[in-house]
Structure 1
Amino acid sequence: MEQANLNYINELSGDNQEFKNKIITILKKELPDEIEIYQEEFIKANYLLASQSVHKLKHKISILGLEKSYYIAEEYENNLKDNSTDLNADFENILKIMQEFVSHL
């Protein structure tokens, strides 16, 4: 599985450490909440609402440089819209990678 990184954040912020810190702070705050909302909707089998959460999480996936994972999430989002949970295990692994990475920032 690919590894999360700060390449995009570094590129976006350039030499502005304050801006970089703000982005990281937002990630640390929003990511756990967005994952929790996704998981709650998934458990309730509200797949359309879960797909909307996946859509929001895709932005965080791309910010953390997980290019291949972004495409998995995109396909998973479409699966959920079709009431299919195919790729759930892959998506859960992506969430785990993101959580572990962000928790060490």
Structure 2
Amino acid sequence: MSEIPNLDYIKEISGGNEDFEKKFLNIIQTEFPKEKQDYFSFLESGDLEESAKVVHKIKHKLGILGLTEGYKLAIQYEEDLKDRNTKLKNQFHEILESVEGFILKIA
């Protein structure tokens, strides 16, 4: 994956308000690990409809973290999961790992 998560969008919408940035990041740092865990649990159990619902939540965080291509891939993957198609699974998992590493780095 060539994209790297970043804080550009958060800094842009915060207008330099560091408290806002910290709160926004805290939400991502709290929600993302749980959503990732839920996604894998649903995927492992074969519940692709629920997996798609979690991908829907995660895709917005990808956009917020500057992953434009990752966001687009998540949109397609969400639709694919609804059709019981997991062909984009490995690419999506790479994105999840990238985000997780980024979140741990900025913690």
Is 1:32–2:23 an aligned residue pair? no
In structure 1, stretches of 5+ residues that fail to align are none
Runs of 4+ in 1 over 2 A off after TM superposition: none
Q: Percent of aligned positions with the same letter in both sequences? A: 38
Length-normalised TM-score, structure 1: 0.98
- By how many angstroms is 1:83 displaced? 0.5
Q: Distance in 1 between matches of 2:7 and 2:92?
A: 20
- Post-superposition Cα deviations, 1:12-59, rounded to whole Å, max 9, x if no partner, equal 111110000001111111110010011100000100000000000001
The equivalent residue for 2:81 is 80
What is the distance in 2 between the residues matched to 1:22 and 1:67?
22
Alignment of 1:20-99 (within 5 A): 20-99=21-100
Deviation, structure 1 residue 68:
0.4
TM-score (norm 2): 0.96
For residues 68 and 82 of structure 2, the distance between their equivalents in structure 1, rounded to whole angstroms, comes to: 22
Amino acid at match of 2:21: K
In structure 2, the residue matched to 1:102 is 103
Total equivalences in the alignment? 105
